[in-house]
Amino acid sequence: MKKLINSPADVVAEALQGLVAANPHLALNADHAVVYRADGPTPGKVGVICGGGSGHEPAHAGFVGLGMLDAAACGEVFTSPVPDQVVEATKRADGGAGVVHIVKNYTGDVMNFEMAAEISAAESGVEIETVLVDDDVAVQDSLWTAGRRGVGLTVLVEKIIGAAAQEGLPLADVAAAGRAVVAQGRSMGLALTPVTTPSAGKPMFELGENEIEFGVGIHGEPGRERRAHASAAELAKALALPIIEDLPFVAGDSVIALVNGMGATPLIELCLMNHELGKILAEHGITAARTLIGNYMTSLDMAGASLTLLRADAQQLAWWDAPVLTAGLRWGV
């Protein structure tokens, strides 16, 4: 294993220090591995937090800042943050108007965020709403989830909820905005290569020279099937069609599209995948009103890609376009 690390045990702590050092708008509670807005919490504004295992950078600490998250609880690599971390993130985001917890649908995340919400409410009386993200159409139920996994749509939920909160909407409305995104968004991904965690020092699974894992999870969880590698056009269609059919998306829909890299896929290949996605959407009469291409919900050094489509209305597009200033996403400021 060749990695730019010191001790595997220190990867998350040292990486968070490096992130915060490069971004003056961020601050770090090192004891709890919580990254938060240095100018927060904002009095009277609904707080928005997310979190999860590290290894998905820039998610989620890289999305803390103006117009997005107020804090992120960062677990060890591919490990849910414990309740104390989520409680600390909630405190850092609480401006007196309540806090929204954005939770990806993994058993550990769901359990620990639920416990943290109960503790926070009991200790400080903060009102909390939870938005559960379960957008992965690849598998239903697994060793890691009851229901579908939360993957790339989480980035869109964070952006749209963050803008709604920044606009001054009350807690119930901010949470409702997030749930509306979850209801209208779907994702699926594939792996060209396995992922290697710093602690394991070897690939988490094996792929043959001409194999891909189709429908892979963001922690390397198995997908729908092993397939032979194919052209970008064939792979884009294999990802896009199940997404389109699941909601279903229909002619006349306007969508926000995310063409996401899994960590080790060159941007040129993601742009090529977006070209293929555009042709598929056009064949179905669907318009990509906005498109985001890049590594946003990754899996360490996995090569591969995921596609996310969100059926978006005018208000969601406006919130998407609203100013954002984070390490991983920024425009309009």
What positions carry a catalytic annotation? 56, 219
Task: Indicate the DSSP class of residue 70.
Answer: S
Listed in sequence order, the residues at least 6 apart from 148 whose beta carbon sits closer than 8 Å to its beta carbon are 105, 134, 135, 136, 137, 139, 140
The CA distance from 109 to 79, in Å, is 9
Q: Do the beta carbons of residue 56 and residue 109 sit within 8 Å? A: no
The CA distance from 332 to 68, in Å, is 13
Q: Where are the alpha helices (DSSP H) in 72-128?
A: 83-93, 107-124
How many H helices and E strands in the chain?
Answer: 8, 14
Is-cis flag, bond preceding 60, omega within 30? yes
The CA distance from 161 to 324, in Å, is 12
Closest CA to 118 of 81, 83, 146, 82: 83
Q: Which two tokens stand for residue 280?
A: 């598929």
Closest CA to 190 of 150, 131, 143, 236: 236
Q: Do the beta carbons of residue 260 and residue 189 sit within 8 Å? A: yes
Q: Do the beta carbons of residue 171 and residue 188 sit within 8 Å? A: no
Listed in sequence order, the residues at least 6 apart from 212 whose beta carbon sits closer than 8 Å to its beta carbon are 190, 191, 192, 226, 227, 228, 229, 235, 304
